[in-house]
Amino acid sequence: MFKSLMYKEWLKIKWIVVGLALINVLVILNIYLDLSNTFKELAANSVVGQFQAYEIVFYYDIKNIILVTGLLLGVFQFFPEISQSRLKLTFHLPVKENKLMLQMTSVGVFILLLIFIIDAFLLSIVCIKLLPKEFFDSMLMTTLPWYVGSIVTYCWVIIIFVEPNWTKRIISIFLALGIISLFYAGSGFSAYSNSIFYFILLAVFCSAIIFLSAYNFKRGIC
Amino acid sequence: MGNVVEIKDLTHYYGKKLVYENLSFNIKEGSIFGLLGKNGTGKTTTINILNGFLRPKSGKCLMFGEDSYNLSPATKARVGFLIEGHIQYSNMNIIQIEKFYSAFYPKWKKEPYYELMSKLAVTQDQKLSKMSCGQRSQVALGLILAQDPDLLILDDYSMGLDAGYRRLFIDYLTEYAKAEKKTIFITSHIIQDLENFLDDCVILDYKSVLMTMPIKEFMSTFKQFKFETSVKDLKLEKDDVVKSYEIIKNKAVIFTFEQQPNVASYLNSKGIDFNDLHQVPMSLEDAFIGITGKY
C-alpha cells in the first residue's frame, strides 16, 4: 500500500521535483562559475583571505533556493489534496489516517533529503576543488540549518494547508514565519553550529503538529 | 437482515446554526436508501459524519457496528465513497488511477471499471482533469464498482450530469450493485431519477426531519388534493392534516397523508367552502416538493 501511495505522490510532484532539483544544481553551478571567475581575476590567496577575514559565505545564493525548495514541494504536494477536499479520498483509503499522513510526509521529506544530498555533494566538490579544507568543514555546518529549515518549511506548508479552520490557519502562518526565520537568520560561517541539535528538535516538534492539523481536518469545522 | 448503518439522535450545529437535531434512521443490509432534501438541509453533513469526516455535536452514528468517527481500515475497505462533484485524483489517467486504488482493496475487480471506461470516448493517457464532468463521474463510479464494497455512499451523484450520464449512472448501479444486493446510501437533488430506484428514504427540511419511511409507503400514503373555493384570500396553515399547500387565486392544492373524506371533513371543520375536491396522482418529485414546499 505504501508503494501505491508513493506512486500517487510521485505522479503528483514529479515535475516540480525535477524542476527544483534542476534549479538547485544550476544555482550551485553558478556559484562555482562565479568563484572560478573571481579566482581568475584576483589572486586566489587574497580571495580566500577575504573570505576568512569577513566570513563571506560564497554559497549564500543557495540559502533562498533551499528554503523555496521545501516551500514549493509542500505546496505542489498538498494543494491538490486540499483543493476540493481531495484529502477525504485519501483518508477514506483503508489505512489509518495518521499513517497516511506520515507516509505522505515521508515521501516529501525523502525527496527533499535527496535534493539536499545532491546540493551538499556538489557544494563539497566546489569547496574541495577551489578552497582550503576548513571551508568544506564550515560549509556543512553553515548549510545544515538551512536544510533543516527547508524541511520545517515543508512541514508548516502541510500544517497550514491541512488545517480546516481559517483562524488557526492564519495563526499557523505567523507561527511558521517566526519559526522558519530562526533557521535562516544566522550569517557567517557555522553561525548555528552550537544550536543545530535544538534546530533538529524544533523540526521534529513541527513535524508532529502535522498530525494535529490532520486531526482537525478529520474532525471537520464545527 | 441487519442494519449496515445506524443513526440515532444525531444533532449537529455549525457554530450556533442548527443543521438538524435528533436525526434517526437505519439502513438495512441490501437496501437502497435515499437521503433527500433541499440544498442546505444537511445531506452532505450527514454523509461527512457517516464517513468520519465530521464529529457530530451529539448522537450516535454506527457503520457496520463501528463508530463512524473511528472506522477501522477493514471497515473502510467495505465502503465505497463518491464525493459530491465526483472528485477524484485529477492528475491521473484512467490506467494510473486504477493501478493506484487496486493495491488498497483485497476484493478489487477491474472488469466493471474497464467495461465502463470502454464506453467513454477517452484515451488511456487522458488525465481526469481533461475529461468532462460526465466522464469523470463514470471514472468515479467505475472505481467504486471495482472496489466491490458492501456499502456504497454516493453524495449527490447527479451533480453536473446531463440526463444521459444520470441514466447511465443509475443503470450501472442497478446492474452491479442492486443485482448483487449491495447496500446503497444515495443523495441527489434530482429526485425524479430515484423514483424506481429507492427502497427507503429520509426527507430532511431545514433544522428538522420531515419523514422517514419506505418509498412505496410514502408514495401510497402521501396524497395531493386539488379543489376550488369561493373564499377570497383563503389562508391555510400547516398542521397534522395539511403538510403543505399552495393557493393560486381560487384554486388550492393540499398535500396530506389523510384520505379524501378526512380532507373534506377537515375543510368543513375550518368553514372553507370548496368544490371539485379530487386527488391528483404524483411522481416522487411532486411528492418531494409537496412535503418540502417550493421555497
For B17-40, what is each residue's pLDDT tens digit? Answer: 899 889 999 999 999 999 998 888
Cβ–Cβ below 8 Å for A85 and B90: no
CA–CA dist A108, B96 (Å, integer): 20
Pull the grid cell for residue A81.
Answer: 489534496
Q: Which of B285, B283, B81 is nearest to B190 (CA)?
A: B285
For A48-95, what is each residue's pLDDT tens digit?
777 777 777 777 889 999 999 999 999 999 999 999 889 999 999 999
Which of helix, strand or coil describes residue A156? helix
Cβ–Cβ below 8 Å for B55 and A3: no
Pull the grid cell for residue B176.
Answer: 452491479
* A218 contacts in chain B (CB < 8 Å): 52-53
CA–CA dist B6, B64 (Å, integer): 8
Rounded-to-5 percentages of helix, strand, coil across chain A: 85, 0, 15
Q: Does the beta carbon of B83 lie under 8 angstroms from any beta carbon of chain A?
A: yes
* Span B155-170, average pLDDT: 85
Rounded to 5°, the CA angle B149-B48-A1 comes to: 45
Confidence class for position A175, pLDDT limits 50, 70, 90: very high
Question: Based on the structure, what is the number of domains in chain A?
Answer: 1
Q: Of A167 and A128, which is predicted with more confidence?
A: A167
Query: Does B294 have pLDDT greater than 70?
Result: no
pLDDT at A3: 92
- What domain range is A145 assigned to? 2-219
B276, B267 in Cβ contact below 8 A?
no
Pairing of strands B208-214, B200-205: antiparallel
Q: Of B37 and A134, which is predicted with more confidence?
A: B37
Pull the grid cell for residue B94.
Answer: 484512467
Average pLDDT over chain A reads 90
pLDDT at A221: 66
Average pLDDT over chain B reads 90
pLDDT at A15: 96
Pairing of strands B151-154, B79-82: parallel
CA–CA dist B221, B218 (Å, integer): 5
For the ranges B36-45, B64-73, B228-237, B239-248, the maximum mean pLDDT occurs at B64-73
Q: Does the beta carbon of B127 lie under 8 angstroms from any beta carbon of chain A?
A: no
Confidence class for position A190, pLDDT limits 50, 70, 90: low
Identity of the residue in B15, B87, B96 whose CB atom sits nearest the CB atom of A89: B87
Query: Does A220 have pLDDT greater than 60?
Result: yes
Pull the grid cell for residue B168.
Answer: 447511465
CA–CA dist A56, A60 (Å, integer): 9
Pairing of strands B66-67, B58-63: antiparallel
**pTM of the complete model:** 0.87
Q: Of B79 and A127, which is predicted with more confidence?
A: B79
Q: Residue B111 burial by CB count (10 A; 0-12/13-18/19+): exposed, middle or buried?
A: exposed
* A91 contacts in chain B (CB < 8 Å): 52-53
CA B141 to chain A, closest CA, distance in angstroms equals: 14
pLDDT at B238: 84
Per-residue H/E/C for chain B: CCEEEEEEEEEEEECCEEEEEEEEEEEECCCEEEEEECCCCCHHHHHHHHCCCCCCCEEEEEECCEEHHHCCHHHHCCEEEECCCCCCCCCCEHHHHHHHHHCCCCCCCHHHHHHHHHCCCCCCCCEHHHCCHHHHHHHHHHHHHHHCCCEEEECCCCCCCCHHHHHHHHHHHHHHHHCCCCEEEEECCCHHHHCCCCCEEEEEECEEEEEEEEHHHHHHHCEEEEEECCCCCCCCCCCCCCCEEEEECCEEEEEECCCHHHHHHHHHHCCCCCEEEEEECCCHHHHHHHHHCCC
* Span B168-182, average pLDDT: 83
CA B203 to chain A, closest CA, distance in angstroms equals: 23
Query: Does A188 have pLDDT greater than 70?
Result: no
A162, A212 in Cβ contact below 8 A?
no
Query: Does A222 have pLDDT greater than 60?
Result: no
Identity of the residue in A3, A86, A94 whose CB atom sits nearest the CB atom of B89: A86
Q: Which of A183, A162, A186, A171 is nearest to A70 (CA)?
A: A183
Q: Does the beta carbon of A221 lie under 8 angstroms from any beta carbon of chain B?
A: yes
Q: Which residue's C-alpha cell is 443509475?
A: B170
Q: Which residue's C-alpha cell is 515543508?
A: A154
Sign of CA dihedral A55, A59, A60, A63: negative
A72, A16 in Cβ contact below 8 A?
yes
Q: Of A123 and B294, which is predicted with more confidence?
A: A123
pLDDT at B166: 87
Query: Does B265 have pLDDT greater than 60?
Result: yes
CA–CA dist B101, A8 (Å, integer): 10
Residue type for A220, please?
Answer: G
Pull the grid cell for residue A181.
Answer: 526565520
Pull the grid cell for residue A38.
Answer: 573571481
Identity of the residue in A7, A80, A84 whose CB atom sits nearest the CB atom of B100: A7
Q: Does the beta carbon of A93 lie under 8 angstroms from any beta carbon of chain B?
A: yes
* Span B268-292, average pLDDT: 89
Residues 58 through 77 of chain B touching chain A, CB cutoff 8 Å: 73-74, 76-77
Confidence class for position B280, pLDDT limits 50, 70, 90: very high
CA–CA dist B256, B1 (Å, integer): 32
Q: Does the beta carbon of B15 lie under 8 angstroms from any beta carbon of chain A?
A: yes
The percent of residues above 90 in pLDDT, for chain B, comes to 54
